[in-house]
Structure 1
């Protein structure tokens, strides 16, 4: 513990030496809907925390709804006295914030690794899954890919406007899947990459996607699943800030336009043993097929995680590369689970179903539980799309149905934790019901 504290203390002191103009540091953590909450600490107080002083925040901050409010979930929020819970600083995440008007720093905090972790904190849920896999001799290597849209900074009657191309205001004039669009938006994209790299994030590939103002960013592969999810979460935060600085609005919303492709979160996962052998490639790739079968079996029960809000369900089944069934295939982007072409050393799955605004810790945790279940059950998967274009299992396409399917799944309850599943499902149910408590203009047009 003393060594751990001394390492954190050295990190804080080095940061203060390198950034003497920074007076405050945002201590941040991801809640259930995938938004950051936290506190802004004077940097001298952060040094005390790094030295071992307690860091406490309300436990129920993790349970915030999409709009920041609290719902009654069991005995939480309104019958538990709103207790504090210990958090800890995540080493290596203290970085400067360059997109705010004043010099700031930020650092991740978490309850995982504390004396009493919060069972429903997303990072803690993933930490438990990874610990269990490590005990079984399974070591995941993970890489995220995130799609997002750039919009004009100003909304038009609350609706997003296409990002203003420096060469043309006509969205139809933006070249899709074309290197030229990367050049047209180079100033903001370059700043996003440099800012992410300053946060310690390994950015590899940038792609112009099909939608006007839509891009995809790929991250490097990591043998630390928690850190990989940290990168995805931190990238979303910094990208939104950089976009505003350049006069744009960056959004990871799943389906901002009905007529254009939605934005997804693609997760590449390979599994290795302690000696570095790819477990999926053994025995003529039989473990790969078992892992795929497990993913597909649990996928219909994980939809509240992969599609965490009403809008995310709009992304499914009507546009390019968005699956309508739990299916798989080799080199097939219409599949939920794609097997990219690779050598045995790098054999992996690419899970493509989650929306870009899903919680990266929970998405990865759900994928890993599916892979784990598949390896344990050792069953063959359904036919790949390469052999049968109709192959696949149905999955829920509406939130309340999806919540019921998730809450009743025993393997998922055991793999992710029963307390987490119950809390998460009730949070999603309440968020969905709150979303319905507004009559929109279309209802008046149709039914008045």
Structure 2
């Protein structure tokens, strides 16, 4: 077997051979709010990193706020000297970037698997959850679904405009599910799908959603949770770039229009043992009920992950298929946790609460934590929506309430890591305060 460095070196050399015009490669990772940060490396320097040279970036780059600023979080950022931390290249993620004007490559980097992983790095948080499950003989299979909107490339006084129908040239301002919209926007959608496939992402179904200019992309089921989350993160990056190339803006913003449906991140998860048996289907599906109970119990304490900003909180309970309480049901899209109809082999949950702009690594970590907790506690879930349309438990819909609920929950602190929980919650608290520091024009209209 090849050593990790030999495998990476072969990957870089093959890339250089296949793409001789590429001079630079973006080395990228996802921060806490779900934005990519990193460095642009000359490709010949990347070969040295692949061969074993150190790759270091500031540790505190992970802590950036939603607008890119640094917050004082404990001793981080301002009292720690802003130290570097080692990163490593993620094998198999070196791909060409086709949406930029000049030839370019990109590759994921991470601190997980290094000598001193960053405890609050999203990919490291998910890695720890997956490793713990593996030690217990639990092997998740995961599939993400992402909704997004296409806007016109030009903003109107900072506000988004409806995307233009390529056929008529008029604004695509009518909400519908018509498949003809896939044909009318086929040029940009096909490019998005092809570009994603070039990035190694398994794209399956494309759907025209209810909102004007709104679409959904489904990914294939993947037995590697890290790779499934990588796909979701990389898809957001490539889709924004492809949209701009075609004269649109692609946005995963949770609630761009109050009068139209928001955009969600739906995550399908099934659990298997080492022999390939579906753990949720055993004993007349009793483990499924326990897993659902665990998800619902911890859901109110993970709201800063599922709805990570003020706009994401606007999406909840607003229009179609957006849950207002922690609930579950069979074939019920109003539920936070939906059980799709399937055979025992493919029995799974569909977690529907997260917004499309949530951090996919953290969303998956929180869902798996809930499933794990449920299997351990072995409690019965609340009544399903199929039996009682009013069933459900409340969850916080104000950011400071959500942060307090997350920071004080002992199971969440134990299973996601106390250091991560404290850092993440303070990041969200500081983002909330920064958001409040700007006077909106509405305040002048109301109170001047």
- TM-score of the superposition, structure 1-length normalised? 0.99
Residue 314 of structure 1 is matched in structure 2 by 314
Q: How does 1:281-300 map to 2 (within 5 A)?
A: 281-300=281-300
Counterpart in the other structure of 1:242 = 242
Q: Which runs of 4+ in 1 moved over 3 A?
A: 168-175
* Alignment correspondent of 1:177: 177
Q: C-alpha distance in 1, partners of 2:341/2:196?
A: 28
Q: CA 1:9/1:84 → structure 2, altered by over 3 Å: closer, same or farther?
A: same
Paired with 1:161 and 1:358, the residues of 2 have a C-alpha distance of: 23
Who is 2:60 aligned against? 60
**2 CA distance for matches of 1:205 and 1:218?**
5
Is residue 444 of structure 1 aligned with residue 444 of structure 2? Answer: yes
- In structure 1, what is the equivalent of residue 196 of structure 2? 196
> Contact conserved, 1:255 with 1:263, CA < 8 A, in 2?
yes
Q: CA deviation at 1:176?
A: 1.4
Q: Distance in 2 between matches of 1:252 and 1:174?
A: 19
Give the distance between the partners of 1:171 and 1:165, measured in 2 at CA. Answer: 6
Matches within 5 A, 1:9-408: 9-171=9-171, 174=174, 176-408=176-408
| Structure 1 residue 432 corresponds to structure 2 residue 432 | yes
- For each residue in 1:230-289, what CA deviation from the matched residue of structure 2 results, as whole angstroms up to 9, or x when unmatched? 000000000000000000000000000000000000000000000000000000000000
| Contact 1:174–1:181 (8 Å) recurs in 2 | no
Task: Output the CA distance in 2 between the equivalents of 1:242 and 1:100.
Answer: 9
Q: CA deviation at 1:172?
A: 6.2
Using a 3 Å threshold, how does the CA distance of structure 1 residues 387 and 118 change in structure 2: closer, same or farther? same
Provide, for residues 63-93 of structure 1, a one-character-per-residue CA deviation record: whole Å limited to 9, x for no partner: 0000100000000000000000000000000
Aligned mates of 2:166, 2:407 — CA distance in 1 = 48
- Cα offset, 1:2, TM superposition: 7.0
Cα deviation per residue 1:157-184 (whole Å; 9 max; x = unaligned)? 0000000012335546646111100000
Distance 2:58 2:430 in 1: 20
Secondary structure at the residue paired with 1:16? helix
Deviates more, 1:219-228 or 1:174-183: 174-183
Q: 1:168, 1:377 → 2: CA distance?
A: 57
Q: 2:271 aligns to what SS in structure 1?
A: strand
Alpha-carbon distance in 1 for matches of 2:36, 2:172: 35
Equivalent residue of 2:206, what SS?
strand
Q: Is the 8 A contact 1:23 1:103 kept in 2?
A: yes
SS in 1 for 2:87: strand
- How well do the aligned residues superpose, as a CA RMSD in angstroms? 1.0
Structure 2 distance, partners of 1:173, 1:310, is 25
Unaligned runs of 5+ in 1: none
Change (3 A) 1:362 1:91: same
